[in-house]
Structure 1
Amino acid sequence: MSSDTNNSSSSGFEKNLPPEEYLNKINEVRTLLGPLGAKSSKYCSDAAITRYLAARNGHVKKASKMLKETLKWRIQYKPDEIRWEEIAREAETGKIYRVNCTDKYGRPVLVMRPSCQNTKSTKGQIRFLVYCMENAILNLPDNQEQMVWLIDFQGFNMSHISVKVSRETAHVLQEHYPERLGLAILYNPPKIFEPFWKMVKPFLEAKTCNKVRFVYSDDNLSKKILEDLFDMEQLEVAFGGRKSDSSFNYEKYAERMREDDLKFFGNTTTVSSTSAQLTNSDSEVSDSENKNLEDNEDVKIKNGTPLDTTKT
């Protein structure tokens, strides 16, 4: 099996340490975290702490600080209170969805299609991404901590790019969902994507970049990455698979997500204070206070002008 399709259930960090040292580091993190409420404790399992330690190369204090920031973010942002009805508008075009199968290692798979972007609100897009991440995590099988992203560039052009959204996406995923990504496959990215990728890479940690694979439908060598990773009978035709009836259907997907909400959260209409402020109209207009900055950065990308990455 190629190292490109490593099936580690987490980061593999714990495998590089003697068991006693590994457990000592987890206990040190717990000590630095101090007393936690029941809700916060839920997100501080041994597996969770291991992911944060891996994200900070085993540095206990840095991992503890990172995890504290996530716990604070979860209290304020309330990602576990986002429900399908709040973000349904964002999902209409199938720009992100969880397929109804896993890879060969049981990892959930999120399909992403940048060309299907249908809103301009950074807040709306990020909350939709967070909902998708939370849903995929809730559907993780036992002993599995990671997921796979399949990013389809069919129909993509530079108008689908937003530097502000990309930057915020990288921040949320790296700071609050460390080591959740097993592999990201960029399928048939066009040449015009290359300068954008060079611009975005400084926002990403080296570990994240190392999990990105470029796959092209006319390249047998890169296609083997998909063949090693998936049962091709279950993979969409759009990615070279043989499942012809797997295209996105909004009505069916909405039903699946409502069922998941009911299964994991019960018959509740809980809406967080943050989500209460986010209406459908918010998903149709951009955030005015950031509009000029975003437009300027997007123009720079399209003109090939370097960005000031110190602002991240």
Structure 2
Amino acid sequence: MACCLRLRPPLYQHFNLVSINSKKRIEVPELSIRNCAANPENAHKLVLEVRERLEKEHNYLPVGKYGRDDEEMILWFLKDRKFSSGEAVSKLTKAIRWHHEFGVSELSEESVKHVAETGKSYVHDYLDVYDRPVLIVEASKHFPEEHERREDEKLCVFLIEKALRKLPDGKEEILGIFDLRGFGMQNADIKFLTFLFDVFYYYYPRRLGEVLFVEAPFVFKPVWQLAKPLLKSYASLVRFCSVKTVMEEYFTADTIPSTFKE
């Protein structure tokens, strides 16, 4: 069963242990909780605050889409960091730099065409029943040595961007499906799997709603045992299931991916 994702540990205050016989007064720090999500005005002020800090402290960062002045991106990272402007700035700095260095804005159908033609990964034409875009990976078609790792990574990011563009209004997450039928050790690629989850964690936080591992064979078990600790909290998003589950719980008869049709 899929579990809820935690992108950060609970926010605990750190207290020193005090003897029960101590006569000293225990100072308990006050907690100030700002529900900025319920107050658009406050949220907008924080967006401007973060934008100004990025411009002042990191003016070397690019502007534009996924740049230091991208207010939509800033708001998303503020939500991810519970509206802590300091934490948002820290995570945004890394994300903006990565988007620029990776060349995300330069990715296109043509630039990933060679790898995409293998059919090992693609965005499904239809949304699932929860109105989430669907990114499908057919693991048996992935051979780590067949292409340069960078090419596989480019296809991965291009498809994430493509899936996000299919998000309906009011929806924020996508569904990932790994079709593991026919999977063998020649298809195992722990480095790429951790790259995929790291990309979601650091650069597309809270965009991955759930991951289905479909019909995982016994040979996949040791791969998962090695990969699970590397995925950190994202491992809790994974659900092992059957083709029947995919058909009955995630799609209608008209929207089921052709690879799962009986």
TM-score calculated relative to the size of structure 1: 0.62
Q: Does 1:212 align with 2:233?
A: no
- Alignment partner, residue 70 of structure 2: 44
Question: 1:185 maps to which residue?
Answer: 212
The letter for the 2-side match of 1:154 is R
Q: Give the partner amino acid of 1:184.
A: V
Partner AA of 1:185 in structure 2: L
Contact 1:26–1:50 (8 Å) recurs in 2: yes
Measured against aligned partners, the alpha-carbon deviations of 1:46-79 in whole angstroms (never above 9, x if no partner) come to: 4x34543454455432222111111111222211
Query: How many angstroms apart in 2 are the aligned matches of 1:24 and 1:210?
Result: 34
Going from structure 1 to structure 2, the CA distance change for 1:4 and 1:169 (only over 3 Å counts) comes to closer
Distance 1:5 1:143, change over 3 A: farther
**Partner residue in 2 for 1:154:** 181
Distance 2:98 2:179 in 1: 30
Deviates more, 1:18-27 or 1:82-91: 18-27
Alpha-carbon distance change, 150 to 163 in structure 1, aligned in 2, over 3 angstroms: closer
Q: Aligned partners of 1:91 and 1:180: how far apart in 2?
A: 22
Mapped partners of 2:80, 2:230: distance in 1: 15
Partners of 2:121 and 2:138 within 8 A in 1? yes
Aligned length: 225
Query: Residues of 2 paired with 1:73 and 1:109: CA distance?
Result: 24
Aligned equivalent of 1:87: 112
Separation in 2, partners of 1:58, 1:158: 43
What's the counterpart of residue 77 of structure 1?
102
Percent of residue pairs identical = 26
Unaligned runs of 5+ in 2: 5-33, 57-61
Structure having the higher Rg: 2
The runs of 5 or more residues in structure 1 that have no matched partner are 7-13, 243-312
Read off the aligned partner of 2:128 and give its amino acid letter: D
Q: In 1, are the aligned partners of 2:54 and 2:68 still within 8 Å (CA)?
A: no
Which of 149, 153, 158 is equivalent to 1:122? Answer: 149
Match of 2:123 in 1: 98
Code of the residue aligned with 1:198 in structure 2: it is Q
Amino acid at match of 2:180: F
- Matched-pair contact (CA < 8 Å) for 1:90–1:124: yes
- C-alpha distance in 1 between matches for 2:113 and 2:64: 30
More helix by share: 1
| CA RMSD in angstroms, aligned pairs only | 3.1
> What is the correspondence of 1:1-312 to structure 2 with a 5 Å cutoff?
18-19=38-39, 26-34=47-55, 37-41=63-67, 44-46=70-72, 48-56=73-81, 58-118=83-143, 119-206=146-233, 208-217=234-243, 223=245, 227-236=248-257, 238-239=259-260, 241=261
